[in-house]
Copies of this chain bind each other. A is one copy, B any other.
């Protein structure tokens, strides 16, 4: 109800503020008997963590997590899995000057108004630091999905106006992590990195797009009419900090198409499975997965904290100037890749479990 839980069956609740004692997550509903590889969790955390490269924020967090409950002798027990990360590098004094001022396009103003008070240190609960908790939970979800043959891979497809022109089918997604911007096309990646460096040099930030592909999803996931698979994927992505748009399959381009162009004809594939020749449906029909690849785009606005002076007001309504200090990302998409994957995994595992109940 208060918005800090996600999922119906594989249900997570995250807690913690950017500069509080710890952030963490409780997973209720992970089936018992799942072998959990803690190193895979750490790997995804490392892909998300600050300070990992020259083009991310320089905040230093080891992001080492601790298992508090729910795992016994390497396996999930069916009891809640609680995990947490202690915050280390809390330079709260960086934020003292912001106690009173509202940073433009941040959540300062809306939190203050909604709750009547706020933990101003580092953005408190509104900080993207909270997404580390999602990555932990997502990394467990992925292990369950992997056993079922479902694989999720996201990558950066745009930074500013630099757009990767190839479709995911033309890319080798295993190369995504080979460069610091997480674009699997090396030539485009270089340009993106250069653009981000230049943007940071100007004390500015820039937006981008993350594309995500899910392979191996069985037919049947998604619960019409409201919990359509793409509706839950959309909500999951839009719940990530800075996301302003979501499209799947033919997406916004599809609005310009005729039905005769956009429809996906069925045929029997070589392995005798009912398949579609094209996949403008993005692997989902009527809100239910159809066995084809699922793919979607997630639009990230530029990070709001810039190192330039901006006009604003303070709590009392006085005009003030604010300028980012702290340590911030010039472009969020490289670190967003594991977050998009984690949220996709959480949606998929939840619907995979829900679908077990669809028929007698």
A265 to B209, CA, bound (A): 24
Closest to A147 in B: B360
Q: How far is the CB of A128 from chain B (nearest CB, A)?
A: 10
A4 to B28, CA, bound (A): 7
- Asked if A77 is at the interface (CB within 8 A of a chain B CB), the reply is yes
Q: Which residues of B contact A82 (CB under 8 A)?
A: 15-16, 22, 24
- With A15-B26, A161-B256, A255-B300 given, is the CB distance from A285 to B360 under 8 Å? no
24 CB-based A-B contacts, threshold 8 Å: A2-B223, A3-B228, A4-B28, A6-B226, A14-B80, A20-B69, A77-B125, A79-B119, A104-B265, A105-B285, A109-B266, A109-B274, A110-B222, A113-B220, A147-B360, A202-B258, A206-B258, A207-B254, A207-B257, A228-B239, A230-B244, A244-B247, A244-B250, A272-B317
1-34 of chain A: CB within 8 A of chain B: 1-6, 8-9, 11, 13-17, 20-24, 26, 28-34
Other contacts beyond A4-B26, A265-B311: 20, CB < 8 A: A1-B11, A2-B223, A3-B222, A3-B226, A4-B225, A17-B70, A17-B79, A32-B359, A34-B360, A77-B118, A111-B288, A114-B358, A130-B225, A209-B252, A244-B249, A250-B301, A262-B302, A266-B312, A268-B319, A274-B313
- Asked if A303 is at the interface (CB within 8 A of a chain B CB), the reply is yes
- With A68-B15, A78-B115, A79-B4 given, is the CB distance from A302 to B258 under 8 Å? yes
Closest to A3 in B: B223
Q: Which residues of B contact A308 (CB under 8 A)?
A: 260
Question: Which of A102, A234, A245, A282 has the largest count of B CB atoms less than 10 A from its CB?
Answer: A245
- Interface pair B313/A268, CB less than 8 Å apart: yes
Q: Which residues of B contact A299 (CB under 8 A)?
A: 247, 251-252, 254-255
Q: Which residues of B contact A33 (CB under 8 A)?
A: 115-117, 359-360
- Asked if A56 is at the interface (CB within 8 A of a chain B CB), the reply is no
Give per-residue flags for A77-89: 1 if the beta carbon is below 8 A from chain B beta carbons, else 0.
1111110100000
Q: Which residues of B contact A61 (CB under 8 A)?
A: none
- With A224-B107, A265-B311 given, is the CB distance from A2 to B6 under 8 Å? no
Q: Which residues of B contact A125 (CB under 8 A)?
A: 77, 79, 224-225
Q: Which residues of B contact A24 (CB under 8 A)?
A: 68-69, 82
Question: Which of A33, A73, A235, A312 has the largest count of B CB atoms less than 10 A from its CB?
Answer: A235
Closest to A221 in B: B114
287-304 of chain A: CB within 8 A of chain B: 287-290, 297, 299-304
Q: Which residues of B contact A53 (CB under 8 A)?
A: none
A285 to B126, CA, bound (A): 10
A99 to B205, CA, bound (A): 55
